[in-house]
Amino acid sequence: MTQQAPSLDTSLAAAVAQSAADYARRNPASQAQYERALQVMPGGNTRSVLFYEPFPLAIRRGEDCRLWDADGHEYTDFLAEFTAGLYGHSNPVIRVAVQAALENGINLTGHNLLESELARLVCDRFPSIARLRFTNSGTEANLMAIAVAKAFTRRGKVLVFQGAYHGGVLTFAKGHSPVNVPHDFLIGRYNDIADAQALIQANAGELAAVLVEPMQGAGGCIPATPEFLAALREATQDTGALLIFDEVMTSRLGPQGRQGQLGITPDLTTLGKYIGGGMSFGAFGGRADVMALFDPRHPDALAHAGTFNNNVLTMSAGIAGLSQLYTAEAALALNALGDGMRERLNAVCREQGVALQFTGLGSLMNLQATARPIDHIGDTTDTDPRIKDLFFFHMLEAGLYVARRGFTVLSLPITPSHVDKYVSAFESFVQRHRTLLAPA
Ligand code: PLP
C-alpha cells in the first residue's frame, strides 16, 4: 500500500498545532496568569487585540526595547504598544518628566501650566492644526472630531472606508460592527477614487465628514495612495464636507505626519499613541473656525469634557517627548530605518520565491501572506491566517515580540542590529516552513 502525502491544509494545521503546543510548554507562568484572569474578566481579557490562542503571554516588565514575560523569556519589542511606545519602556527623559509631574501633584483640578505647552508643540509640528483639544484616547479623539464635523456642517452622514480602524467603537474591518456608535456611516472602498467620489457626490448635501487613515494601520499597514487622499481633499472641498485625517498611527511617519509628507491639508486631524509620551493620550484639532465651536466663552458652545484630558503625567511626558526626543531628525532616521528593513524583508520574499510580503511605510509594517499588490483590505481576505500564526510563534521563539497579526513597529531604542536580528529570524522562518508557503 502506498502512503499518501498529507495535504497542504493538514500539514499547515499540524504545524500550527505543534507551534502552539511548544509555546504552551514554554510558558507555564503565562498560562497560570491567564487562568487567574479568566476568573474575573471575560476570556481573561480587557483589550481584545491582545488575546490569542492558546493563551496570551503575560508581560512582567520592559526596559528600552526589551520585554520579559512571566516565565523570564526576554524579547526585543517590535510591537511597542501598537505604536504608542515610541520612546521605549524606560527612556530617561520621559522618566524625568513623569517624576517632575508627580512632584507637583497629580490631580490639580484646574487649567495647568503644561497643557498649552503641549498644545503649542503639536500645533507647531502639524501646520493644519491651528487649535486643538486633548482627550484620553484616539477613539475619543475621533468621536469628538466626528461630533464637531456634524455640528459645524449641520449634516449627519460620515464616510469611512472598509478596513478602517478609528477606535473601539469605530471599527470597520468587517463593515458595520454592533459595538460601533450609531452614526450614519457610509462605507467606501479604500484607495478607490471613483467609488469615493461617487459616494461624496451622491451624498453632497448630507455628508458632514470623510474620516480616513492616511495608511490603514490595524487594517494591515495599507497605505493610501497620494492620489486617493488628494481626490478626497478635492471632493470634500467641492461639497463642504470636512476631511478628517486619522493620524493616530501615521503622525509618526514624518516630521509633520503623513499629511506633511504628502502636502495635503485636512480640515481636522486626530492624534493619539506616542504623542502623550507613552501615557494615555488623544487629541483632535484643525481649522480654527471649526474648533471655535468649543470656545466656552460663547453661550452656545459645544461641550467637551474629560476628567483626565489635561492630566499632568501625559502633558509632561508628551512635552518632553516632542521637544527633546522625537525631533524632525529622529523621525526621519527612524522611518528610514523602517524603510530599509521592509526592503530587506521583501527582498527575502522575492529571493525565496514565497507568497509573502511586508506592507507599510517607514517604521510601521505588516506581514501579508500573499504576493499580490494590496490596495484594499479585500486584497488580503482570502489569505490563510495560519501563516501569520506560524510566523508569530517562530518570532517569539527567536526572542522577537510582534503582533499575532504580523504587525511590526520600530521604536526609538531599536538599532540596526535589532533590525538584523529580525531579518535573519524572518529568513529562518521562511526556510523552516518553506514547504507550507505558497510560491510567489
Ligand atoms: N485610530 C487609529 C488609526 C488607531 O490605530 C487607533 C488605535 O490603534 C485608534 C484610532 C484608537 O486609539 P486608542 O486605542 O487610543 O483609542
165 is an active site residue: yes
Residue 420, helix vs strand vs coil: helix
* Å from CA of 249 to ligand 1 middle: 7
Q: Who's near 264: CB < 8 A, 6+ residues apart?
A: 226, 229, 230, 233, 245
* Å from CA of 279 to ligand 1 middle: 14
Q: Is the Cβ–Cβ distance between 382 and 246 less than 8 Å?
A: no
For residue 19, give the H/E element and its range. helix 8-26
Ligand 1 pocket, residue 213 CB under 6 Å: yes
- Pick from 144, 166, 259, 363 the residue to mutate for probing ligand 1's pocket: most ligand atoms within 8 Å of its CB: 166
Sequential pLDDT tens for the chain (440 residues): 456 778 999 999 999 999 999 999 999 999 999 999 999 999 999 999 999 999 999 999 999 999 999 999 999 999 999 999 999 999 999 999 999 999 999 999 999 999 999 999 999 999 999 999 999 999 999 999 999 999 999 999 999 999 999 999 999 998 889 999 999 999 999 999 999 999 999 999 999 999 999 999 999 999 999 999 999 999 999 999 999 999 999 999 999 999 999 999 999 999 999 999 999 999 999 999 999 999 999 999 999 999 999 999 999 999 999 999 999 999 999 999 999 999 999 999 999 999 999 999 999 999 999 999 999 999 999 999 999 999 999 999 999 999 999 999 999 999 999 999 999 999 999 999 999 999 99
246 is an active site residue: yes
| Nearest CA residue ID for atom 10, ligand 1 | 166
273 is an active site residue: yes
Beta strands in 233-332 (DSSP E): 242-246, 268-272, 282-286
* Å from CA of 8 to ligand 1 middle: 37
Question: If you average pLDDT over every residue of the chain, what do you get?
Answer: 97
Catalytic residue from among 23, 87, 165, 422 = 165
Helix axes 385-397, 416-432, angle to 10 degrees: 120
Helix axes 226-239, 193-202, angle to 10 degrees: 10
Helix count and strand count (H, E) for the chain: 13, 16
pLDDT of the residue at 133:
98
Output the pTM of the full model: 0.98
The per-residue pLDDT for range 217-254, each reduced to its tens digit, is: 999 999 999 999 999 999 999 999 999 999 999 999 99
Ligand 1 pocket, residue 139 CB under 6 Å: yes
Residue closest to 23 by CA, chosen among 2, 52, 1, 50:
52
Ligand 1 pocket, residue 282 CB under 6 Å: yes
* Å from CA of 269 to ligand 1 middle: 13
Nearest ligand 1 atom, CA 142: 10
